[in-house]
Amino acid sequence: MNSDYAFDLQLPFKSPLTDMSVIHRDGSEPDIFFIDHKDVSEEYLNWIDEQGLVMTYPPLIFYTPVKHQIGIHIDGPGELIDRACMNWCVQGVGSLMHWYDVKDGRSPFEETNTQAGTPYTQYHPKDLNHLHSQTVKWPTVVQTGIPHNVTNSVWEPRWVISCDLSFKDRPNDGLTINEAKELFSKWTV
C-alpha cells in the first residue's frame, strides 16, 4: 500500500543485517536498542551507497511484545517534522502502525529519551486525530516525524529494524517522505 505516511518496497537484496539473531530480545515490555554497525549487511550498505545515501546512525530495533500497544510518539525532539525511515517488520504479522494529527492548541505531554538514548516525544490520544493505519512489511518506508504508534495484537512478538537514511551531502538530516518516494520509486510496490 502506498500512502502519505508509508509505502512498501521490494529491494534487490535479502536483508539489511548479516545475522537476524542480533535483533531477538524478549520480554513483557517494549524495548528499543541499536544494532552494532558491523551487523549491517554489505549488500545493504552498497545499495544505499549507490543511492547516494548514508546511515544517519546504526539501525534501531523496536521490540513490541505480544498484545501490546506502543504509546503515541514522534521519534525525535518535540517539534513535528517530515522524517522517513526504512523499516523491516519481523513477525507480528497483522500488527498496525497508526499516524495522527495534533489537535489545535495541543502539545506533547513528555519529552524523554528511549532506552537507546534517542529523543522521544509522547502524546495523549485525546490531543490527536487519527489519520491513517497501515501494516509495516519487509520493508516499508514510514513517516516517523509526526505522532504515530504501533498496535501488536497478534499471538507473536514483533521486532522492527529501523534505518534512518540521509543524503551523503547532508549526513544528519534524514529524508522527507517525498524525498524517499522519489528516491525509491523504482522499488515501490
Contact of 102 with 134, CB cutoff 8 Å: no
Phi, psi of 112 (to 5 degrees): -145, -170
Whether 48 shows a pLDDT value over 70: the answer reads yes
Q: Does any domain span residue 1? A: no
Whether 169 shows a pLDDT value over 80: the answer reads yes
How many angstroms separate the CA atoms of 107 and 36, rounded?
34
CATH (domain of 105): 2.60.120
What is the rounded average pLDDT of the residues 56-69? 90
Q: What is the DSSP string of 117-158?
A: S-EEEE--GGGEEEEEEE---SSEEEE-SS-EEEEE-SSS-E
Q: Does any domain span residue 117? A: yes
How many angstroms separate the CA atoms of 78 and 119, rounded?
9
What is the rounded average pLDDT of the residues 31-43? 94
Whether 128 shows a pLDDT value over 90: the answer reads yes
Q: Does any domain span residue 133? A: yes
Whether 123 shows a pLDDT value over 80: the answer reads yes
pLDDT value at position 115?
83
How many angstroms separate the CA atoms of 23 and 160, rounded?
9
Percent of the chain with pLDDT over 70: 99
Q: Is 89 exposed, middle or buried (0-12, 13-18, 19+ CB in 10 A)?
A: buried
What is the rounded average pLDDT of the residues 69-96? 88
For residue 64, the enclosing domain spans 6-16+27-187
What is the rounded average pLDDT of the residues 152-170? 92
The better pLDDT of the pair 155, 58 is held by 58
The total domain count for the chain is 1
Whether 1 shows a pLDDT value over 70: the answer reads no
Contact of 155 with 117, CB cutoff 8 Å: no
Q: Give me the amino acid identity at 112.
A: T
Percent of the chain with pLDDT over 90: 72
Q: Does any domain span residue 156? A: yes
Average pLDDT for the chain: 92
* Closest-CA residue to 82 (of 144, 6, 22): 144
Q: Does any domain span residue 179? A: yes
Edge-to-edge strand ranges of the sheet holding 158-163: 6-8, 140-143, 84-91, 158-163, 60-64, 31-34
Q: Does any domain span residue 21? A: no
Whether 178 shows a pLDDT value over 80: the answer reads yes
* Closest-CA residue to 163 (of 141, 181, 185): 141
Model confidence at 113, pLDDT cuts 50, 70, 90, reads confident
